[in-house]
Structure 1
Amino acid sequence: MDAFHDKRRGRTLMVQGTASDVGKSVVVAALCRIFLQDGHRVAPFKSQNMSLNSYVTPDGKEIGRAQGMQADACRIAATTDMNPILLKPTKEMVSQVVVHGKPLRDYDARSYREHYLPKAESIVKEALERLRGQYDAIVIEGAGSPAEVNLKDRDIVNMRLAGWADAPVVLVADIDRGGVFAAIVGTLDILEPEERDRVKGFIINKFRGDVSLLKPGLDWLEQRTGKPVLGVVPYLHDLGLEDEDSASLDAKRQRGQLEGKRRSAASDRGETDADNAERLLDIAVIRLPRISNFTDFDPLFAEDDVSVRYVTAPEQLGKPDAILLPGSKNTVEDLLFLRETGLEAHIMNYVLQGGRLAGICGGYQMLGRTLHDPYGVESSQETVSGLGLFPAVTTFARDKRTERVAGFADGWGEAAEPLPIDGYEIHMGETRFVEPVAHPFRVGLEREAGPDRDLHPEGCMSGDGKIWGTYVHGILHNDGLRREWLNRLRADNGWEPLPITLFYREKREAAFDKLADHVRSHLDMERIYAMMAVEATEL
Structure 2
Amino acid sequence: MKGLMVQGTASSVGKSLICTAICRLLANEGKQVAPFKSQNMSGLSIQTEDGLEISVSQALQARAANTSYLPEMNPILLKPTKNMESDIIILGKKLNTMSGMHYREHFFEKGQELIQNSLSKLSVLYKYLILEGAGSPVEVNLRDRELVNMRVADMADVPVILVANIEYGGVFASIVGTLALLPEPQRVRVNGIIINKFQGDVSLFQDGISFIESYTGIDVLGVIPYFPNEFEEEDGEEKSGQKTSDGQIDEWASHFKKHVKWEKILSLLGNDVAIK
TM-score, normalised to structure 2, is: 0.97
Could you list the runs of 5+ residues in structure 1 that have no partner in the other structure? 1-8, 250-293, 298-473, 478-504
What is the CA–CA distance in structure 2 between the aligned matches of 1:51 and 1:180, rounded to whole Å? 26
1:527 equivalent in structure 2: 264
Instruction: State the 1:529 CA deviation.
Output: 1.3
Q: Work out which of the residue numbers 75, 83, 92 in structure 2 matches 1:101.
A: 92
Q: Are 2:201 and 1:210 aligned?
A: yes
Instruction: State the 1:533 CA deviation.
Output: 2.1
What is the CA–CA distance in structure 2 between the aligned matches of 1:108 and 1:171, rounded to whole Å? 30
Residue identity matched to 1:83: N
1:226 equivalent in structure 2: 217
Q: Are 2:108 and 1:120 aligned?
A: no
DSSP-derived class of the 1:176 partner: coil
Residue identity matched to 1:36: A
Residue identity matched to 1:40: K
1:518 equivalent in structure 2: 255
Once the two structures are superposed, residues 150-205 of structure 1 have per-residue CA deviations (whole angstroms, 9 ceiling, x without a partner) of 11111210001000101100000110021011000000000000111000010100
Q: Work out which of the residue numbers 239, 245, 258 in structure 1 matches 2:235.
A: 245
Q: Is the 8 A contact 2:267 2:275 kept in 1?
A: no
Q: Is the 8 A contact 1:50 1:89 kept in 2?
A: yes
What is the CA–CA distance in structure 2 between the aligned matches of 1:534 and 1:511, rounded to whole Å? 30
DSSP-derived class of the 1:242 partner: coil
What is the CA–CA distance in structure 1 between the aligned matches of 2:176 and 2:8, rounded to whole Å? 12
Instruction: State the 1:118 CA deviation.
Output: 1.5
Residue identity matched to 1:170: I
Instruction: State the 1:129 CA deviation.
Output: 0.8
1:112-511 equivalences under 5 Å are 112-237=103-228, 239-246=229-236, 294-295=238-239, 297=240, 474=241, 477=242, 508-511=245-248
What is the CA–CA distance in structure 2 between the aligned matches of 1:97 and 1:212, rounded to whole Å? 46
Q: Is the 8 A contact 1:61 1:101 kept in 2?
A: yes
Q: Work out which of the residue numbers 30, 36, 48 in structure 1 matches 2:27.
A: 36
Could you list the runs of 5+ residues in structure 2 that have no partner in the other structure? none
Residue identity matched to 1:25: S
1:257 equivalent in structure 2: none
TM-score, normalised to structure 1, is: 0.50
State percent identity of aligned pairs.
47
Instruction: State the 1:534 CA deviation.
Output: 2.5
Q: Is the 8 A contact 1:84 1:124 kept in 2?
A: yes
Counting matched residue pairs gives: 276
What RMSD over aligned residues (CA atoms) do the two structures have, in Å? 1.3
Residue identity matched to 1:525: W
What is the CA–CA distance in structure 2 between the aligned matches of 1:53 and 1:134, rounded to whole Å? 26
DSSP-derived class of the 2:81 partner: strand
2:74 equivalent in structure 1: 83
Q: Is the 8 A contact 1:231 1:523 kept in 2?
A: yes
Q: 1:92 to 1:175 in 2, by over 3 A?
A: farther
Once the two structures are superposed, residues 192-234 of structure 1 have per-residue CA deviations (whole angstroms, 9 ceiling, x without a partner) of 0011100001010011000011110110010000000000011
| Higher Cα radius of gyration | 1
Q: Are 2:49 and 1:55 aligned?
A: no
Q: Work out which of the residue numbers 22, 25, 44 in structure 1 matches 2:13.
A: 22
Residue identity matched to 1:242: E
What is the CA–CA distance in structure 2 between the aligned matches of 1:536 and 1:84, rounded to whole Å? 27
Q: Which has the higher contact order (CA 8 A, sep 6+)?
A: 2
Once the two structures are superposed, residues 233-272 of structure 1 have per-residue CA deviations (whole angstroms, 9 ceiling, x without a partner) of 11112x54222213xx5xxxxxxxxxxxxxxxxxxxxxxx
Q: Is the 8 A contact 1:526 1:536 kept in 2?
A: no
Detail structure 1 runs of 4+ shifted over 3 Å in the superposition.
Answer: 535-539
What is the CA–CA distance in structure 2 between the aligned matches of 1:531 and 1:185, rounded to whole Å? 22
Residue identity matched to 2:48: T
DSSP-derived class of the 2:10 partner: coil
Q: Is the 8 A contact 1:118 1:154 kept in 2?
A: no
Instruction: State the 1:124 CA deviation.
Output: 0.5
Once the two structures are superposed, residues 305-338 of structure 1 have per-residue CA deviations (whole angstroms, 9 ceiling, x without a partner) of xxxxxxxxxxxxxxxxxxxxxxxxxxxxxxxxxx
Instruction: State the 1:123 CA deviation.
Output: 0.4
Q: 1:78 to 1:163 in 2, by over 3 A?
A: same
DSSP-derived class of the 2:22 partner: helix
DSSP-derived class of the 1:13 partner: strand
DSSP-derived class of the 2:40 partner: strand
Instruction: State the 1:12 CA deviation.
Output: 1.3
Q: Is the 8 A contact 1:529 1:535 kept in 2?
A: no
Instruction: State the 1:75 CA deviation.
Output: 1.3
1:65 equivalent in structure 2: 56
Residue identity matched to 2:122: L
What is the CA–CA distance in structure 1 between the aligned matches of 2:168 and 2:138, rounded to whole Å? 18
DSSP-derived class of the 1:36 partner: helix
What is the CA–CA distance in structure 2 between the aligned matches of 1:100 and 1:47, rounded to whole Å? 10
Q: Is the 8 A contact 2:24 2:250 kept in 1?
A: yes
